[in-house]
Amino acid sequence: MNILRKKSAANVPFSETVIETLIRLCGVSSIIFVFGIFFFVFREGAGFLFNGLDLGEFLTSPEWYPTSLNNKRYGTLALILGTFSVTTLAMCIAVPFGLGAAIFISEFCSPKLRETFKIIIELLAAIPSVVWGFIGLTLMNQLIIAVFNAPIGLTMLNGGILLALMSVPIIVSIAEDALKAVPDSYREAAEALGATRWQVTYRVLLPAAKNGLLAAVLLGAARSIGETMAVLMATGHSVNIPSSPLSWIRTLTATIAAELGEVARGGEHYQVLFIIGILLFTITFVVNLIADLVIKGIRQQ
């Protein structure tokens, strides 16, 4: 909301000037923090990033041997693939469910039912990730062993399902906003032509809201990429090029969480973990930026 009123300097007391300064300071705090995060994570990892780390090997080698005694190798390819495969799997599950639910809630629901569903989805979003991890370690592990006859239940599938459940609420809420943002006149026009509710949705609303829906999916994916505890506990934590949903994998986030606790501060391994942090920060930053641009695209239309 844009305030056009000019303040007259004469009748503004000193305390107000102080408070306004403070408000402005807090207002830009988010910018400071985002830069701060990048700066401090970068600061810890920079030494090795510019001096010693073979960036090509870092991104393309699957050999993650940070503690080898005579041949340390810091290849994160397996970890990157781990992160992306589990995210992709999660999105394959979450997108149909998330968009389906968003369409249902926004277009096919009575207001009362809509409220109920929205509350449930909000509660689903509130479950802490360590609890999801615990579920993965206990319940899901046994389920996957029983259903797929797999030797071990701590797999990409396990993590993928958990991540899907964790990102569905985000997808639903953003997708629903996007659908709601389509003017009612679109719906009315289509219905006047004799279209059924589904035809209206499929032919009119989805194309009109496609940017918002895309943003919803992107933000859901960003959430999955950044998730830590659930994948640490549920995916098997194994440096492996993933080959099937039942293979056990390791993600970038889980690697930091598992190894940061035990590295000597300032050492190469420690710095590499921070470089992975920079990588993660960059990935999620870019995804969020794209999502934002996509949403901005809608507003300009």
Q: Which of residues 189-208 bind other proteins (CB under 8 A)?
A: 191, 194, 196-199
Site string for other proteins, 156-195 (x = CB under 8 A): ---------x--x---------------x--x---x--x-
Alpha carbons 194 and 81: distance in angstroms, whole number? 48
Contact between 141 and other proteins per CB under 8 A: yes
75: exposed, middle or buried (C-beta count within 10 Å: 0-12, 13-18, 19+)? buried
232 binds other proteins (CB under 8 A): yes
Q: Which of 95, 157, 219, 234 binds other proteins (CB under 8 A)?
A: 219
* Closer to other proteins by Cβ: residue 88 or 109: 109
For residue 147, the minimal CB distance to other proteins (Å) is 14
Instruction: Print the binding letters for residues 16-55 with other proteins: x by CB under 8 A, - otherwise.
Output: x-xxx-xxxxxxxxxx-xx-xx--xx-xx-----------
* Cβ distance to other proteins smaller for residue 54 or 142: 142
Distance CA(214)–CA(128), nearest Å, equals 26
Q: Which residues make beta-bridge pairs with 64?
A: 74
Interacting residues with other proteins between 279 and 298 (CB under 8 A): 280-281, 284-285, 287-289, 291-292
Give the nearest distance from C-beta 230 to other proteins in angstroms. 10
300 binds other proteins (CB under 8 A): no
Least Å distance, CB 151 to other proteins, is 4
∠ CA 284-170-91 to the nearest 5 degrees? 70
Q: Which of 80, 121, 217, 272 binds other proteins (CB under 8 A)?
A: 121
Binding other proteins (rule: CB under 8 A), the pick from 50, 56, 151, 244 is 151
Q: Name the minimum Å distance from CB 54 to other proteins.
A: 18
The residue assigned the tokens 């396990």 is: 158
Given 131, 189, 203, 210, the residue binding other proteins (CB under 8 A): 131
Q: Name which of 86 and 233 has its Cβ closer to other proteins.
A: 233
Quick one: which of 89, 98, 99 has its CA closest to 124? 98
210-226 and 77-103 are packed helices; what angle lies between their axes, rounded to 10 degrees?
140
Q: Would you say 88 or 191 has its CB closer to other proteins?
A: 191
The correct pick among 152, 203, 207, 210 for binding other proteins (CB under 8 A) is 152
Q: List the Cα angle 101/285/266 in 5-degree steps.
A: 130
Residues 58-117 that bind other proteins (CB under 8 A): 62-71, 78, 96-97, 100-101, 103-105, 108, 110-111, 115, 117
